[in-house]
């Protein structure tokens, strides 16, 4: 009986550690591809297209969203920053350098 309890305790400790290792190996692109925030991805793609910079060097952070589905994001590309607004359909409707 002690062996079963020891194995259960070991499994309980190893599962969270395995999950953390799996999360640490994810790249920035994987969450977006796996159904992350489509508004953030649209903003990053718009900056990529307008600035000619690799999307991997661009990050976006949600700032606000309203009940109509309009979302605002802060987008960062190195020392440059932008404010991006996305409509309910995930289309960028405004992108301004801040």
Q: What is the pLDDT of residues 23-67, one digit of tens each?
A: 444 544 444 444 589 999 999 999 999 999 999 999 999 999 998
Q: Closest Cα partner for 27 from 57, 72, 62, 61?
A: 57
pLDDT given at position 25: 47
pLDDT given at position 36: 83
Q: Is the pLDDT of residue 11 over 70?
A: no
In whole angstroms, give the CA distance from residue 77 to residue 53: 8
**DSSP secondary-structure letter at 53?**
-
Q: Whole-prediction pTM value?
A: 0.63
In whole angstroms, give the CA distance from residue 42 to residue 75: 11
């Amino acid at each position: 009986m002690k062996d079963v309890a020891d194995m259960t305790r070991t499994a309980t400790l190893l599962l969270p550690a395995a999950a953390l290792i799996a999360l640490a190996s994810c790249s920035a692109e994987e969450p977006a591809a796996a159904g992350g925030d489509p508004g953030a991805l649209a903003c990053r793609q718009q900056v990529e297209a307008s600035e000619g910079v690799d999307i991997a060097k661009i990050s976006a952070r949600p700032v606000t969203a309203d009940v109509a589905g309009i979302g605002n994001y802060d987008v960062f590309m190195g020392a440059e920053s932008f404010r991006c607004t996305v409509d309910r359909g995930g289309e960028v409707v405004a992108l301004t350098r801040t």
